[in-house]
Amino acid sequence: MKSNIDKAEADITTHYKNPYEIVQELLQESIQTLGLNENIYHILKKPMRVLEVSIPIRLDNGRIHNFTGYRSQHLDILGPTKGGIRFHPDVNMDEVKALSIWMSLKSAILDLPLGGGKGGIIVDPSALSKRELETLSRAYIEKITPIIGPQKDIPAPDMNTSPEVMGWMIDEYDKLRGYNIPGMLTGKPVIIGGSQGRLAATGRGVAITIQEAANVLGMEMNGATAALQGFGNVGSMTAKFLHDLGVKITGITNAHGGIFDQDGLDIPDLLEFVKKGNRIHTYPKAAPLTNEDLFGLPVDILIPAAVENQITKNTAPAIQAKIVAEAANGPTTPQGDEIMEQKDIFVIPDILCNAGGVTVSYFEWVQNAMNYYWKEEEVNQKLTEKMTAGFQQVLAIREQKQMRMRQAAYTAGIRHIVKALHARGWIENEKMLEG
């Protein structure tokens, strides 16, 4: 039988599992620390609009399965709301609400004229056939059509959604509206208006912020070591860019298992292996690695690039890395964060670290509006400028206010949104508009 303490501890853990509560707490803390009016918290704490849809689909076996989907739109005072759509069995309304708030903060830090949005469907996409997945993707877009559009809310890929899925979705939307509207979503295949560089953008942005953090700590990237959780689009691209910079990635895990090589995994070979449809834990040229062991590896850089709530009171104590780069959204619980603070780990918070994806999505939307397209070098150059400026802005706040990077990132995002609230007359005489 469990003691009361165990039970209380378990309750706390469960309590903090909810990312919506975590983001609200972080917002409230930042607003208080900055001495801002609590009205600002009351404006920011909830999304302005959340839609839940039921999506009945005929499966290949003839049965109807009724899926549940969501779309959350946080705040549109800086521009249309924007953010991805995820397909995952753990999707729920609170998660998409939290993710849409994080999107608002990301766009604000990077000075993008956008608000935050996010959507998702409760589904395990690996359990569906391609036809079922296409039907589900098209039906979801049909259900959320009334609230999306290039000037309203612009979807994009997220966990388990790809350019192919975006292709089905935009095709459905165009059919429903009766004409070609390329700016209604981003992350499309390049041939139908996608941007060069979008697929690699989040990983490229993660690598840029790690390089910036290494500069702050006086760490040489060439020869540094890293461990990575997650090898989807973001994780694999991050691995590629870090490898190009001379970083030795010794451990990688995902939901199925993991691999380890003390001398550094052969990332180009591993990328080829995965491209052929293989799972990383079956890669023959490395030793096995568990997810628990990944966090304690003796590396310079740790990159959670999978799901929420991975750096917790259980995993954080083992971390040896000097830099933790949050490529995933919400990978750290408040307790995990406290432990990293005590250990003086340099954390690149998610709302800064993984903002490269939405940044190139913004470039895609701009190119769609012009109907004129940039070369990949131009996109990458613009991305580097945005990510570096965002990082430097957060770093300056950290130094000026003697804060942790996460608090500095929230400050940067909130400050930008506060200026817009002020400009629209929602709040008056608000301090802290400088900077």
Residues that bind ligand GLU (CB under 6 A): 82-84, 156, 158, 186-187, 329, 354, 357-358, 361
From the list 97, 118, 143, 322, the catalytic residue is 118
Token couple for 141: 């877009």
Closest-approach residue to ligand GLU (CB): 84
| Least distance (Å) between residue 91 CB and ligand GLU | 13
Contact 77, 424 (CB under 8 A): yes
By C-beta, is 97 or 248 nearer to ligand GLU?
Answer: 97
Number of neighbours of residue 392 by Cβ within 10 angstroms: 11
Query: What are residue 301's DSSP bridge partners?
Result: 226, 323
By C-beta, is 225 or 310 nearer to ligand GLU?
Answer: 310
By C-beta, is 134 or 158 nearer to ligand GLU?
Answer: 158
- Spatial neighbors of 367 by CB under 8 A, at least 6 apart, are 193, 195, 373, 374
Report the alpha-carbon distance of residue 68 to residue 52 in Å, rounded: 7
By C-beta, is 106 or 419 nearer to ligand GLU?
Answer: 106
By C-beta, is 67 or 102 nearer to ligand GLU?
Answer: 102
| Least distance (Å) between residue 250 CB and ligand GLU | 27
By C-beta, is 100 or 315 nearer to ligand GLU?
Answer: 100
Annotation says 118 is catalytic? yes
Q: How many residues does the chain have?
A: 435
| Least distance (Å) between residue 84 CB and ligand GLU | 3
Tally the C-alpha atoms within 13 A of residue 308's C-alpha that lie toward its C-beta: 22
Number of neighbours of residue 180 by Cβ within 10 angstroms: 12
By C-beta, is 83 or 203 nearer to ligand GLU?
Answer: 83
| Least distance (Å) between residue 20 CB and ligand GLU | 16
| Least distance (Å) between residue 157 CB and ligand GLU | 6
From 326, 290, 320, 324, select the one nearest 308 (Cα to Cα). Answer: 326
Query: What are residue 117's DSSP bridge partners?
Result: 73
Reduce the DSSP state of residue 71 to 3 states and report it.
Answer: strand
Report the alpha-carbon distance of residue 138 to residue 141 in Å, rounded: 5
From 165, 91, 93, select the one nearest 121 (Cα to Cα). Answer: 91
For 341-355, give the secondary structure using H, E and C.
Answer: HHCCCEEECHHHHCC
Report the alpha-carbon distance of residue 291 to residue 334 in Å, rounded: 20
Token couple for 431: 């301090």
Reduce the DSSP state of residue 272 to 3 states and report it.
Answer: helix
For 363-393, give the secondary structure using H, E and C.
Answer: HHHHHHHHCCCCCHHHHHHHHHHHHHHHHHH
| Least distance (Å) between residue 365 CB and ligand GLU | 9
| Least distance (Å) between residue 431 CB and ligand GLU | 30
Catalytic residues: 118
